[in-house]
Amino acid sequence: MGKINGCLKCVFFLLNAMFGIFGGLMIFGLVKAQAVEPQLPSAVGHWLWVGLCVFSLGMLMVSILGGTAAKTEKTALLKVFAGLEVAVMIIMMILGIVMASCRNKVKVSFENISPDIVGEMMAKNNIREILNDAQEPLQCCGFMSYQDWGSSIPGSCKCSESTFCTNRPGNLEGPAIIYSRPCLPIASDMLDLALTVSMGVLFGFAVTALLCLGASLLMIGQVRRHDGGRGRQAIAMTTHGI
């Protein structure tokens, strides 16, 4: 019979597996993203990219350590795992708070974008290319309106099968029917949703880390009681034999 309760060990393995799956998915996503866009690490920042890779690998290694500690029922490994779970919990909480702060700042920034700022953005060719590529899948035209494109509306604003269609003004060049809604509110809503989901995931894993910490402390207690009982039994047998 093992030193640790079987039900407790199963719950621990289930919680611990979530970290392994999360770390593995992050590693897969980073590798896949870099394969699709080799310049992505440079675009997001070298140190940020390295940090994401290290964090993903760390999550996977913590999961492997936790599984090994529970399987071998070694107190030393369980203590190391408990210490790492404290660190993971703190990191997740900090990242969640930072994400919440960024979400509010991003929302305010989008709301405060003025036509002058949009004009400056449209003067940059790379921004125009990004907007042009995003308009068709998002079914929108321009940042604040189709007027952002000036007198020539690109083909990506063409509206064929959508409820967001309007006729192009006769004094402008481009498709006869264009998307009526702007892209900026759509991008704002998508980014807000992404940040909200990320914040929920971070806080969720902080709670999971807390549960793993509690389970590991319970297992340490069970191992100690088991070993202590065996020690007292050995002493009693020795005394009886004498």
Q: Rounded mean pLDDT of 162-175?
A: 84
Closest CA to 85 of 217, 209, 218, 220: 209
Q: Rounded mean pLDDT of 20-25?
A: 87
Contact, 66 vs 12, CB < 8 A? yes
132, pLDDT greater than 70: yes
Per cent of the chain over pLDDT 70 is 92
Supply the pLDDT for residue 71: 86
Q: Of residues 163 and 177, which shows the higher confidence score?
A: 177
Question: How far apart are alpha carbons 68 and 24 in whole angstroms?
Answer: 17
Give the global pTM. Answer: 0.72
Distance linking the first and last C-alpha atoms of the chain? 29
- Identify the three-state secondary structure at position 238: helix
Supply the pLDDT for residue 86: 92
